[in-house]
Amino acid sequence: MTTATVRVAPATAEVWPELERVFGERGDQAGCWCQWFKLTASEYRASTRAEKRELLHEQSAHTAVGVIAWLDDEPVGWSAVEPYAAYPTLARSPITKRVDGDPVADLWAVTCFVVRLDHRRRGVARALLRGAVEHARSGGARVVEGYPVDPAVRPSLSAAERYHGTVTLFESGGFSVVRRPSASRAIMRLDLGS
């Protein structure tokens, strides 16, 4: 029996057609295209799916704004990861806004995961998180932050509500909880050193 291998790389302009396959035509990810944290609420509501898709396409044409995963040769997942400053909504959210003592300089944020339905529970999200951390490190990050949900506290979380990742996923990547802004949400950090 052979085991499938998950490969992760920065989502550059060259892999755009494969990234489109990951996002697909249906589901929450096909409507968001990872623009939730980049647009104001009114801009987000006013934008069509096609406009959000085009925004991600434009963003990824200039720099890798996330990582893509392949299971063997099939594109199966995506994780958004950029400097915290690239996500203006994070600073306004009561969950993710900065508080005294929070790092700002050289801080990168992992905001979202997409794993195609037929490829879940095969280690893709863990591989994406490792790839996101490496992408952040190569971009100069000294700290990487995530904003996962905690199904242990709220087991009724739907798959759609888990797009932030889960506390156990981030723990498996070496992240630690630094704050609990709500019972089912955590701010988790990984210090990459100087």
The residue-averaged pLDDT of 66-90 equals: 92
**Cα dist. 19→33, 144, 146 in Å?**
10, 23, 22
Residue 173 falls within a domain, yes or no? yes
Average pLDDT score over the chain: 87
Token code pair at residue 154: 């709220």
Instruction: Give the pLDDT of residue 102.
Output: 80
**Cα dist. 122→17, 76, 127, 161, 174 in Å?**
23, 10, 10, 19, 19
144 pLDDT band, cuts 50/70/90, is: very high
CATH of residue 130's domain is 3.40.630.30
Cα 116 from Cα 75, distance rounded (Å): 9
7 pLDDT band, cuts 50/70/90, is: very high
Residue 127 falls within a domain, yes or no? yes
**In this structure, how many other beta carbons lie within 10 angstroms of the beta carbon of residue 53?**
19
Please say whether the beta carbons of 68 and 9 come within 8 A.
Answer: yes
Residue 1 falls within a domain, yes or no? no
3-state secondary structure of 111: strand
Tell me, yes or no, if the pTM score tops 0.85.
yes
Cα 194 from Cα 72, distance rounded (Å): 34
The residue-averaged pLDDT of 23-52 equals: 82
Number of domain units in the chain: 1
Domain that holds residue 130: 6-191
Instruction: Give the pLDDT of residue 31.
Output: 66
Residue 76 falls within a domain, yes or no? yes
Residue 137 falls within a domain, yes or no? yes
Instruction: Cite the DSSP H helix spans in 7-164.
Output: 16-23, 28-32, 41-46, 49-62, 88-92, 124-138
Residue 125 falls within a domain, yes or no? yes
Residue 57 falls within a domain, yes or no? yes
Block residue for tokens 């996962």: 148
